[in-house]
Amino acid sequence: MMITKLTLELEQVNLRLKSAKTRVTIRESNGSLQLRATLPIKPGDKDIRGTGRKQYNITLNIPANFDGLKTAEEEAYELGKLIARKTFEWNDKYLGNEAKNNSATIGELLEQFEAEYFKTHKRTTKSEHTFFYYFTRTKRHTNPQDLATAENLISS
């Protein structure tokens, strides 16, 4: 029964957003709420139609519940303002995980890998040896200063 109440409330919020002409809607996806809007092309994305704009779903990690819906509605009005003023820019908030992932170097990822690896593996001579094997293989074929992009990792 909870989902139907939430779905009805989501419809109401979207009607409010529409009547306020925000040009942003909220949708539920996998237990999270997303903002949906037509925005300038995201950095690194292809402008297939040549319009300079594209419809995107923006995940702000807002849970699909009543409190989350209030937050999402506030965010939708905020995004609507930026669109109306033509001041929207793709920043870390709207890029989400993509922004964080794209800025790490291969060396930084190797350091994170070491920390994560030994959270799940007891430090023994054997586990140190296994980790060292992964680590040296990666280092041999990559440059730790390079950004960890698909191109840099594939070409190595």
pLDDT tens string 12-52: 999 999 999 999 999 998 889 999 999 999 888 888 889 99
Assign 76 a pLDDT band (cuts: 50, 70, 90): very high
| Claim to verify: residue 23 and residue 60 sit in the same structural domain | yes
- Do 14 and 68 reside in the same domain of the chain? yes
Q: How far is Cα 75 from Cα 139, in angstroms, rounded to an integer?
A: 42
Indicate if the pLDDT at residue 9 is higher than 60. yes
Predicted pLDDT at 79: 97
- Cα(76)–Cα(9) distance, rounded to whole angstroms? 15
Give the pTM. Answer: 0.61
Distances from the Cα of 145 to the Cα of 5, 30, 46, 63, 148, angstroms: 51, 36, 27, 37, 9
Question: Could you say which of 96, 121, 143 is where a domain stops?
Answer: 96
Return the structure tokens found at 98.
């993509």
Say yes or no: 50 and 73 in one domain: yes
Residues 50 and 89 in one domain: yes
Do 111 and 92 have their domain in common?
A: no
Q: How far apart are CA 110 and CA 101, in angstroms?
A: 13
Cα–Cα distance, 75 to 22 (Å, whole number): 11
Looking at the structure, do residues 66 and 122 belong to the same domain, yes or no?
A: no
* Position 115 confidence tier, pLDDT thresholds 50, 70, 90: confident
Mapping DSSP to helix (H, G, I), strand (E, B) and coil, where does residue 135 land?
helix
Q: Do 7 and 76 sit in the same domain of this protein?
A: yes
Indicate whether 73 and 12 sit together in one domain: yes
Q: For all residues of the chain together, what is the average pLDDT? A: 87
Structural domain of 141:
104-155
Name the more confident of 144 and 84: 84
pLDDT for 143 beyond 90:
no
Q: What is the pLDDT of residue 139?
A: 83
Helices (H), 2-149: 2-19, 66-84, 92-95, 97-102, 106-120, 125-141
Count of structural domains, the chain: 2
